[in-house]
Amino acid sequence: MVNLRNQAIVTSVNTGLLPAAVAVNILTNQIYVSNNGSGTVSDLDGSSGNTTTITAGSSPSAIAIDPVTNKVYVALSASGGGLIVIDGAVNAAATFAVGNNPTATAANPATNKIYTAN
């Protein structure tokens, strides 16, 4: 990342094992990382630098965020996987069936619809 004066800004953050994807909620300044190897999602507060670990399930991979609803959607790419929906306000997670091996997910904030590719 480069600031307006072309000085590099670098920060290291510990996450879980085998980070697979990253997404940013631009309204809340939260950064989410899916950790495929540890079955977790790391929630990094962009203001304070604090990190919270959320249990996600088997092989979390792709992440999509709906900043309007403050929901985070994480595809569980393992066989028989699903979709984890995280309430960004309290980091509570629920799992939904979406078919086998979801590998990608996208959110449309204008329609409040979520899409997964299986």
Residue 29 lies in a domain: yes
Residue 87 belongs to domain with CATH number: 2.120.10.30
Give the mean model confidence (pLDDT) for residues 96-100.
Answer: 88
Distance CA 37, CA 75 (A): 14
CA neighbor of 36 nearest in space, from 13, 10, 61: 61
Tell me the helices (H) and strands (E) count for the chain, helix number first: 0, 10
Tell me which residue range forms the domain holding 106: 19-117
Residue 85 lies in a domain: yes
**Tens-place pLDDT, residues 43-79:** 999 988 899 999 998 899 999 999 999 999 999 988 6
Residue 10 lies in a domain: no
Q: What is the residue-averaged pLDDT of the chain?
A: 89
Domain count for the chain, please give it. Answer: 1
